């Protein structure tokens, strides 16, 4: 096979807007499978540069593009808004890249990409929630060094997180964490729940739907 033959398919002018090559999608799906198998563990992956900037939902976008097929119906919303500018932009991008149907009704969607909210509708087992994650590391507030962070996760050593919550409660009378409330998943890994507000955290507990967290800039799923 020649180089020309190998690249020909990628230069088809009639093809849809290409955002991610198929090998990348496969790589991301494999990372997603690992992440599902080890809940709460942050799986590193070769995060690609997307048409939206890092920090603008590039991680969620990569997951959505990797997991959807032609029959999917996609909802994208941002801080609870379907009409928000970034949601509209991402929805347009996903539609032009994958040719899928889109919706604003969470109940109709098979894949819901969200920034910082969890739908208030009850979702079912056949639905996937893709969360855009700006800061995936829950322990960064108590430890800056990445070697030590990795060690703390490996050993399940979350003492300093517990202490920080305790001190917060003692000093302020309430836990002042607003978004990204730390959660222990399946008794093993602590995760940051993206910056969803704390009132959106309970619906994630033993949810029927699958929640996938994509951090593009920090290259983790």
Binding site for other proteins (CB under 8 A): 1, 3, 6-7, 10, 18-24, 27, 44-51, 53-56, 58, 78-81, 83-86, 88-89, 92, 115-117, 134, 144-147, 150, 169, 172-179, 195, 197-199, 217, 219-220
Rounded Cα–Cα distance for residues 135 and 185 (Å): 17
Q: Which of 124, 145, 140 is nearest to 180 (CA)?
A: 140
Rounded Cα–Cα distance for residues 101 and 72 (Å): 7
Rounded Cα–Cα distance for residues 98 and 93 (Å): 8
Select 23 or 71, whichever has its Cβ closest to other proteins. Answer: 23
Look at residue 53 and give its three-state secondary structure. Answer: coil
Rounded Cα–Cα distance for residues 74 and 127 (Å): 10
Residue 28 contacts residue 62 (beta carbons within 8 Å) = yes
Cα distance between the two ends of the chain: 35
Rounded Cα–Cα distance for residues 151 and 163 (Å): 18
Select 39 or 44, whichever has its Cβ closest to other proteins. Answer: 44
Select 29 or 150, whichever has its Cβ closest to other proteins. Answer: 150
Select 48 or 75, whichever has its Cβ closest to other proteins. Answer: 48
As measured in angstroms, the least distance from the Cβ of 85 to other proteins is 4
Select 124 or 140, whichever has its Cβ closest to other proteins. Answer: 140
């Amino acid at each position: 096979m020649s180089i020309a033959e190998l690249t020909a398919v990628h230069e088809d002018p009639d093809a849809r807007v290409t955002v991610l090559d198929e090998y990348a999608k496969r790589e991301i799906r494999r990372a997603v499978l690992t992440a599902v198998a080890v809940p709460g563990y942050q799986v590193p992956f070769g995060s690609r540069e997307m048409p939206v900037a890092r920090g603008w939902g590039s991680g969620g976008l990569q997951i959505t593009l990797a997991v959807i097929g032609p029959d999917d119906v996609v909802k994208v919303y941002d801080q609870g808004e379907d009409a928000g500018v970034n949601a509209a932009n991402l929805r347009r991008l996903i539609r032009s890249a994958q040719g899928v149907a889109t919706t604003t009704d969470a109940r109709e969607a098979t894949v819901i990409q969200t920034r910082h909210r969890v739908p208030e509708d009850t979702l079912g087992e056949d639905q996937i929630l893709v969360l855009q994650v700006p800061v995936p590391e829950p322990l960064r507030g108590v430890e800056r060094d990445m070697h030590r962070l990795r060690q703390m996760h490996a050993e399940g050593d979350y003492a300093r997180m517990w202490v920080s919550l305790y001190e917060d409660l003692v000093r302020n009378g309430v836990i002042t964490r607003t978004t990204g409330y730390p959660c222990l998943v399946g008794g093993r890994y602590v995760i940051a729940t993206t910056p969803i507000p704390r009132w959106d955290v309970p619906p994630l507990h033993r949810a029927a739907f699958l929640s996938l967290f994509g951090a593009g800039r920090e290259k983790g799923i």
